[in-house]
């Protein structure tokens, strides 16, 4: 009688462990991916964490927007509660929120300051001259450096 060896059966020590690992590893990877994606679905995509909570305002000094006399610096923000709004003439959402800023400024409930973000000086001035200027002080952030220091994701942002 001859003995027949099955080439697909591996009886070497540790072979059962390797086989289990080959099945368990992809399952663990998929379970991890599902957990990470599931956590992401519980977050509000409209909510962006502020990088400045609990921190001081970055030091800056900006020249005023063309046609305005008062620039904006970090020292202007000490000692009062105020709203600093980043805006640009090319920003569609900025146009939509502008009436709200005008109403806030008119009510006097809070001092509103504006930082014009990466905008041509003439365009920024035309924007404020046409739609109204709700800002007590404005700063022109021509190169976007101040926006980066504030952790700006995009305009409009307050």
Q: What is the 3-state secondary structure (H, E, C) of 19-75?
A: HHHHHHHHHHHHHHHHHHHHHHHCCCCCCCCCCCCCCCCCCCEECCCCCCCCCEEHH
Q: Are residues 22 and 66 in the same domain?
A: no
Same domain, 67 and 134: yes
Mark whether 144 and 76 lie in a shared domain: yes
Q: Looking at the DSSP assignment, which residues form a beta bridge with residue 111?
A: 82
Q: Are residues 24 and 99 in the same domain?
A: no
Q: Is the pLDDT of residue 7 over 60?
A: no
Q: Is residue 131 part of a domain?
A: yes
> Are residues 72 and 35 located together in one domain of the fold?
no
Q: What is the pLDDT of residues 35-61, one digit of tens each?
A: 777 777 777 766 656 666 778 889 999
pLDDT band at 21 (very low <50, low <70, confident <90, very high): confident
Residue 89 domain flag? yes
Q: Do 129 and 76 fall within a single domain?
A: yes
19-28, 58-67, 126-135, range with the lowest pLDDT: 19-28
Residue 10 has pLDDT above 60, yes or no: no
109 phi/psi in degrees, rounded to 5: -65, -30
Instruction: Check whether residue 87 and residue 138 sit in a common domain.
Output: yes
On average, the pLDDT of the chain sits at 85
Burial classification of residue 62, based on how many CB atoms lie within 10 Å of its CB (0-12 exposed, 13-18 middle, 19 or more buried): buried
**Percentage, residues of the chain above pLDDT 70:** 84
Say yes or no: 32 and 88 in one domain.
Answer: no
pLDDT band of residue 30 (cuts 50, 70, 90) is: confident
Q: 55 in a domain, yes or no?
A: no
The CA distance from 58 to 51, in Å, is 11
Give the residue among 141, 4, 1, 139 at the shortest CA–CA distance from 71. Answer: 139
Residue numbers of the domain that contains 134 = 61-149
Quick one: 87 and 111 in the same domain?
yes
- Tell me the per-residue pLDDT of 112-123, one tens digit each, with 9 for 90 and over: 999 999 999 999
- On whether both 105 and 130 belong to a single domain, the answer is yes
């Amino acid at each position: 009688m001859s003995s027949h060896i099955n080439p697909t059966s591996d009886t070497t020590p540790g072979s059962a462990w390797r086989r289990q690992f080959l099945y368990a590893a992809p399952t663990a990877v998929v379970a991890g991916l599902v957990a990470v994606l599931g956590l992401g679905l519980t977050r509000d995509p409209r909510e962006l964490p502020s990088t400045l909570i609990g921190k001081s305002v970055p030091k800056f000094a900006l020249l005023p927007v063309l046609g305005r006399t008062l620039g904006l610096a970090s020292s202007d923000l000490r000692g009062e509660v105020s709203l600093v709004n980043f805006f640009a003439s090319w920003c569609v959402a900025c146009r939509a929120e502008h009436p709200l800023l005008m109403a806030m400024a008119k009510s006097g409930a809070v001092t509103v300051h504006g930082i014009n973000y990466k905008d041509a000086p003439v365009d920024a001035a035309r924007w404020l001259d046409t739609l109204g200027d709700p800002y007590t002080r404005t700063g022109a952030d021509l190169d976007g450096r101040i926006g980066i220091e504030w952790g700006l994701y995009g305009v409009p942002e307050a």
